[in-house]
Amino acid sequence: MTDAVLNHLTASNIFDLRGVVAVVTGGGSGIGLMISSTLVANGATVYIVGPKQADLDRFAHTYNEAASQDPRKGRMHGIEGDIRLKSEATRLAEEIGKREKYLTVLFNNAGVLQGSYEPPTEATAASYVASHFDRVTQENFNNVINTNSIGPYWLSFAFLPLLEKWKKSEDPATKKFLPQIIMTSSMNGWTKDSNTAGRSYPYMFSKSAIGHFTSSLAHELLPLGIRVNGIAPGLFVSQMSAPGMVDPVTGASHLPQGATFPLEVPAVLGSNRDMGSLALFLVANWFVNGETVLIDGGTLLKHPSSY
Ligand SMILES: NC(=O)c1ccc[n+]([C@@H]2O[C@H](COP(=O)([O-])OP(=O)(O)OC[C@H]3O[C@@H](n4cnc5c(N)ncnc54)[C@H](OP(=O)(O)O)[C@@H]3O)[C@@H](O)[C@H]2O)c1
């Protein structure tokens, strides 16, 4: 009796992702890799999307070799693609549709940070114009917003039919998880302190936009029973936050001994355990919808923000 009442509530049952099929854009590095490797560790089949097939294949090989020791682990596959483009969203959904019957979860995670200003040298209008206007290009805004906000729009709709197929399938695994789209937003969608955003206004604009898209798309998709949620990270070590620190074999980034970020983070830096456990929670949970979860070690408790 006790077993029957409690067994379905054990972590090993709730987070057993065997049968789950996931797509993680930018899943070969940084935060995306923290998510994709955690999903594989718990049994999912994961497609990582990025700009270079060779990089994706190398990282996938590393995790698949580790996973091959244990039949409960999943597998990672790389598919090259440029997530900014509508045509690529269609192609990626078609490509994955040829390999899989359905999709459980799409992580719109890939992102870029460009168009940073240098702090003004003095409190004059001329100095602010030189730092915030002259240094930042139209192309910076276009690229950041196309990657961080518009690409997820194309991908979310291009993958809807595969997410709907998960919901309609009779396969046992499909009864355990609900189809979902999960955006990687940022604390920078809410911050009022551009220092927390690498001093990039294009980046802050793009992250506010994806936050609004998360809740409005969740509303839009209610009739389909496909949930939409978001993850709003604070500082995590990645190619974006610590360029040049990527391990060529594992894809993971690490700060050199003693190095720190020029930004006050109350907690120790976020790890793959932190990001992975949040991803697991969102995939396994059925009731959270339209929500963006802040995971920043308390950074926005220190810096002005509203959310
Ligand atoms: N790290 C942080 O502190 C932090 C904080 C808040 C939010 N975030 C968000 O977390 C997400 C992941 O960033 P990250 O920090 O993990 O940085 P990252 O390591 O640079 O990861 C970004 C990933 O997106 C990929 N990508 C960029 N443009 C692409 C495109 N057009 N098509 C396909 N893939 C593309 C990159 O591929 P390549 O590397 O091959 O170019 C890379 O794999 C982003 O949305 C970022 O805004 C990060």
Q: How confident is the model at residue 2 (pLDDT cuts 50, 70, 90)?
A: low
Whether 307 maps to a domain, the answer reads no
Two structure tokens written together for 32: 């995306």
- Which protein residue has the closest C-alpha to ligand 1 atom 25? 26
Please work out whether the CB of residue 50 comes within 6 Å of at least one atom of ligand 1. yes
Whether 143 maps to a domain, the answer reads yes
Q: Provide the domain limits for residue 193.
A: 2-302
- Parallel/antiparallel/unpaired status of strands 227-233 and 105-108: unpaired
pLDDT at 249 over 90: no
User: Which residues are registered as beta bridge partners of 80?
Assistant: 50
Residue 191 CA to ligand 1 center (angstroms) comes to 19
Residue 156 CA to ligand 1 center (angstroms) comes to 17
Q: What is the pLDDT of residues 34-65, one digit of tens each?
A: 999 999 999 999 999 999 999 999 999 999 99
Q: How confident is the model at residue 1 (pLDDT cuts 50, 70, 90)?
A: low
Whether 148 maps to a domain, the answer reads yes
Whether 179 maps to a domain, the answer reads yes
Q: In the prediction, which pLDDT does 201 show?
A: 98
Give this prediction's pTM: 0.97
Q: In the prediction, which pLDDT does 254 show?
A: 87
Whether 138 maps to a domain, the answer reads yes
Alpha-carbon gap, residue 73 to 262, rounded angstroms: 38
Query: Of all residues in the chain, what percent carry a pLDDT higher than 70?
Result: 99
pLDDT at 143 over 80: yes
What is the Rg, in whole angstroms, of the alpha carbon atoms belonging to the chain? 20
Q: In the prediction, which pLDDT does 131 show?
A: 97
Whether 270 maps to a domain, the answer reads yes
Q: In the prediction, which pLDDT does 115 show?
A: 98
Rounded mean pLDDT, 73-84: 98
List alpha helices for the chain, DSSP H.
2-6, 11-14, 30-41, 53-67, 86-99, 125-128, 138-145, 151-158, 160-168, 201-220, 272-284, 299-302
List Cβ<8 Å contacts ≥24 apart for 87-90. Answer: 88/154, 89/151, 89/154, 89/155, 89/157, 89/158, 89/159, 90/154, 90/158
Q: What is the pLDDT of residues 265-286, one digit of tens each?
A: 888 889 999 999 999 999 999 9
- How many domains does one find in the chain? 1
Q: In the prediction, which pLDDT does 67 show?
A: 97
Q: Which atom of ligand 1 is nearest to the CA of 147?
A: 31
Q: In the prediction, which pLDDT does 185 show?
A: 98
* Residue with the two structure tokens 């009731």: 287
Residue in 37, 79, 112 to alter for ligand 1 test, most ligand atoms within 8 A of Cβ:
112
- Which protein residue has the closest C-alpha to ligand 1 atom 33? 50
Instruction: Tell me the backbone φ, ψ of residue 261, rounded to 5 degrees.
Output: -90, 150
Rounded mean pLDDT, 70-76: 97
Please work out whether the CB of residue 196 comes within 6 Å of at least one atom of ligand 1. no
Of 97, 157, 144, nearest to 116 by C-alpha is 144
249: domain CATH number?
Answer: 3.40.50.720
Alpha-carbon gap, residue 262 to 178, rounded angstroms: 40
Please work out whether the CB of residue 209 comes within 6 Å of at least one atom of ligand 1. no
